[in-house]
Amino acid sequence: MKLTSRSVSPVAIVSTVAAAALGASLMLAANTPANAATTLGAAAAQSGRYFGTAIAAGRMNDSTYIGILNREFDMVTAENEMKMDATEPQQGRFSYGNADRILNHARNQGKRVRGHALAWHSQQPGWMQSMSGSSLRNAMLNHVTQVATYYRGKIYAWDVVNEAFADGSSGARRDSNLQRTGNDWIEAAFRAARAADPGAKLCYNDYNTDDWSHAKTQGVYRMVQDFKARGVPIDCVGFQSHFNAQSPVPSNYQTNLQNFANLGVDVQITELDIEGSGSSQASNYDRVTRACLAVTRCAGITVWGIRDTDSWRAYGTPLLFDGSGNKKAAYNSVLNALNAGGPGPGPTTTTTTNDPIPGGCTASVSLNSWDNGFVATVKVTAGSSALRGWQITTTLSSGTVTSSWNANRSGNSGTVNWTNVDFNGAVGAGQSTEFGFQGTGSGAGLNPSCTAS
């Protein structure tokens, strides 16, 4: 209804005056309408993005910590527990206890997980630090393969390689034992990660790459450009975004994210923390959040810890919650910015991503066997939510697969991996689809396992 001047009520006049008088605070109120999301994860989800945090397994018995985690965040990174020294403390002996604790908690809460990190010059186990040449290259690739395979289907995005560029004006690779195995070590790591977990987005992650004018940023940009041109499997670039007075939020931060996105990769803010307090800290957080929202392929933001006291640099009070778990001004500015939203539907997904839902599907097999051969029919059943795609692993204790139908296959003996074809990837909640194969041997013990993708 169009109001005429005669129909304007005294209440309306009062609120118009109030609007003029309150100015900025009313604008703030406009960003937080009654139906605005009240948690970071829900607010980010409105534009198809996530809001995550790093957590430490050692703090998981702290009820304040876990309460904030469960309530606010929908993406989780293990702060240290998936690093090389944690997951392969002795060569060939893998250890996933703390990493699993984090991953299982996240997934049981319906949250997704960023994997951090498969290959890095730092946090290497002692045995690796003293290696070089082809034995180091092989050990690194084996690590990438083993860890990414172990978590196959459960990781939204892996930091495949972390911090491989030098600081300063060179724009060159950082010297390290891994770099000395040959300049192609990074692409080799990405290829190994893709083969091990085709559903995970594969990221290059670094710090001091947030300013477009820095030589280090340019070096990373040229590498990503080259990888895209040559078909090296890379899906995303992580910008750690650790800011303080010496390293402030760059004025070209959004431009920087956009320039990388224009190469055809997602961009992710992976380790955000900003030293400071009060309104200046809040306004820096606001700027970073708005920059992500303004870039369609900025998939989401992860802060590097929950409370200030949880931070690797607690003295800088760089996070969104104080030591008691109270929301800081910085929290409110991030929430308001997320609620104000951004353009577009969020990141365009060009590769299949892993399913955030635990237990997203199951598989069973029926066998029709004869003397030395069999036909197996595998039934794939979606769990409580619909599947966009699926991956099945089967084990042949003897013999080989000789033909198959209605699925893509990799391998034909031992562990054989299967993925949906175009027409049978989408399966409704609780519904089933089938594929089959013929093989030699008995077909005993195929034991299919299903991962939603």
Of 150 and 312, nearer to ligand 9MR (C-beta) is 312
* Residue whose CB is less far from ligand 9MR, 114 or 287: 114
Q: Which residue has the tokens 């978590």?
A: 151
What separation in angstroms does the CA of 443 have from each of 130, 411, 424?
A: 45, 15, 24
Find the catalytic residue in 81, 88, 271, 275: 271
Check: CB of residue 382 under 8 Å from CB of residue 440: no
Give the Cβ contact number of residue 233 at 10 Å: 18
* CA gap 208, 300 in Å, rounded: 19
> Cβ closer to ligand 9MR: 73 or 390?
73
Residue 244 near ligand 9MR by CB under 6 A: no
* Binding residue for ligand 9MR, selected from 235, 271, 275, 355, defined by CB under 6 A: 271
The site string for ligand 9MR over 159-198 (x = CB under 6 A, - otherwise) reads ----------------------------------------
- Smaller CB separation from ligand 9MR, 57 or 376: 57
The nearer residue to ligand 9MR, 210 or 271, going by C-beta atoms, is 271
- Report yes or no: 396 and 441 within 8 Å, Cβ to Cβ: yes
φ, ψ (nearest 5 deg) of residue 428: -65, 160
DSSP label at residue 326:
P
Does 123 sit near ligand 9MR (CB under 6 A)? yes
Q: Could you say whether residue 258 binds ligand 9MR (CB under 6 A)?
A: no
Query: Are residues 256 and 213 in contact, defined by beta-carbon separation less than 8 angstroms?
Result: no
Contacts of 12 (CB under 8 A, 6+ apart): 3
- The reply to whether 88 belongs to the active site is no
- Active-site residue identified among 81, 88, 163, 275: 163
Handedness of CA 188, 137, 152, 295 (dihedral sign): negative
Name residue 21's amino acid.
Answer: A
- Applying CB under 6 A, among 312, 323, 364, 409 the residue interacting with ligand 9MR is 312
> Does position 122 bind ligand 9MR by CB under 6 A?
yes
Residue sitting closest to ligand 9MR (CB): 312
| Residue 80 interacts with ligand 9MR (CB under 6 A): yes or no | yes
Of these, 53, 177, 240, 284, which contacts ligand 9MR (CB under 6 A)? Answer: 240
Q: How many residues in the chain?
A: 453
Alpha-carbon gap, residue 113 to 136, rounded angstroms: 28
Minimal distance in Å, beta carbon 428 to ligand 9MR? 40
Q: Show the tokens assigned to 443.
A: 């077909």
As annotated, the active-site residues are 163, 271
**Where does this chain bind ligand 9MR (CB under 6 A)?**
79-80, 122-123, 207, 240, 271, 312
